[in-house]
Amino acid sequence: METVGIKTPLGIATIKGNENGIAVIAIADEGVVSEEIPLVLHEAVTQLQEYFDGKRTHFDFQLNPVGTEFQQKVWKGLCEIPFGKTISYLELAKQLGDVKAIRAVASANGKNPLWIVVPCHRVIGADGSLTGYAGGLWRKKWLLEHENPSTQQSLFE
């Protein structure tokens, strides 16, 4: 499996994958920024950079995350949340067909190995609160604001 580290506005993203697709995209405050990008990771790096530059709202490189059948189902459901939109854990559980599975859905959401690309940051509490996020709530807030910047102008500008 090839690995690359890239600088993002939110820290160092580590991307791991091979010819079968990208298996992991993780974020950390510190890490090693790679000087060279392996060919199999080039498209993922390019698309993430375009996302941060505000030029991309959808990712289309091959994914290959490792998880249980249920986790895969939840991650697929996350990918159906439109860019700039949010849903609650309860809504996601309902969409997946089992409102009683809300805790399992939340757990699978928290184990998402593909930061940003599988948009677990778009899931919020039923009351609209920013609930748990493995990358830190400040990153979740940043991502949601990046995807849906306020269109309201200040009266004093």
Catalytic residues, which ones?
120
Give the burial string for 88-99 (b: 16+ CB within 10 Å, else e).
bbebbbeebeee
| DSSP symbols for 40-93 | GGHHHHHHHHHHHTT--S---S-B-----HHHHHHHHHHHTSPTT--EEHHHHH
Which one-letter amino acid corresponds to residue 130?
A: L
* All residues at 6 or more sequence positions from 117 whose CB lies less than 8 Å from its CB, including other chains: 22, 25, 44, 48, 59, 63
**Cα torsion 18, 32, 120, 39: sign:** negative
In this structure, what token pair is assigned to residue 80? 């159906």
